[in-house]
Amino acid sequence: MEQDEASSSKKKALPPPAPDDLKLGIASYSFREFGRKTMLSMAKKLHVPYINLKDVHMAMVMKDTDREKAVKEIHAAGFTILGGGTVDFKKDDEADMRAKFEYAKKCGMPLMVSAPSRTTLPKLEKFVKEYDIKIAVHNHGPEDKEFPTPQSVLEIVKNLDPRMGLCIDVGHTCRTGTDPVAAIRAAGPRLLDMHVKDLAILQSEDEKTAKDSQVDVGDGKMPIVAIFRELKKMNYKGGVMLEYEINESDPLPGMHRSFGFMRGVLAGLKS
């Protein structure tokens, strides 16, 4: 029965995109209210092949046998693991850093979306070189005292190993008054991952107003067409991960609409 379900899920999964297409995927944080098995069952219905795993779906501390089983479940569901996170690296402790790189290695994560401090970020370079696992620093908007904007990340990583770069969250980026298209262009090859969402209000004096205005992708004011055009122009190869933070108890309908809009944009750009 288990084998039949795995075979069935593989048949239903869409093939990977063409080499010149963007890698649309899911940030599993979108399903944070659900356990891993339920998350996978729901995520399969979106027909995207890529996933970035939050620790609620792949715990930091697990028995190796349990982790191996979890990874097999994810692959059997038709997903390629593009990364994990967001992983907190604010603790200035090499043992803690190593433990998290070991975690990523055992999960088969080629990249960790990360939240370091300005002090710890350069210290991660040692582990990036040792483990060959990329670090993509996630900017978290005006309330983030370490890395509010993509530029604040770029200022530090530009002189570090090329496997250290950015995960640009377009929603948080807009809330700082930064043009996401310009930020993507400036990041260039340092752009390693992306979190996509849409906002009805891109910026406001009250940080909470814009942050709470998230809507399905295509229903807001985010310049998705211009963002995707820039990504294709620069031949971006990283993940374009939908991070759907609203309707947490029933996210599938809005996620379906969001992916439908994004696929439509890509089709339009091709034509």
Which ranges in the chain belong to alpha helices (H)? Answer: 2-12, 36-43, 64-76, 94-107, 125-131, 150-157, 170-175, 180-187, 207-211, 224-233, 252-270
Give the model's pLDDT for residue 61.
Answer: 94
Quick: pLDDT tens for 58-74.
999 999 999 999 999 99
Quick: pLDDT tens for 186-242.
999 999 999 999 999 998 877 788 989 999 999 999 999 999 999 999 999 999 999
Give the model's pLDDT for residue 271.
Answer: 79
| Contact predicate 269/228, CB 8 Å | yes
Burial 14-35 (b: 16+ CB within 10 A, else e): eeeeeeeebbbbbbbbbbeebe
Give the model's pLDDT for residue 205.
Answer: 74
- What rounded mean pLDDT belongs to the chain? 93
Mean pLDDT of 32-57: 97
CATH topology classification for 18-270 = TIM Barrel (3.20.20)
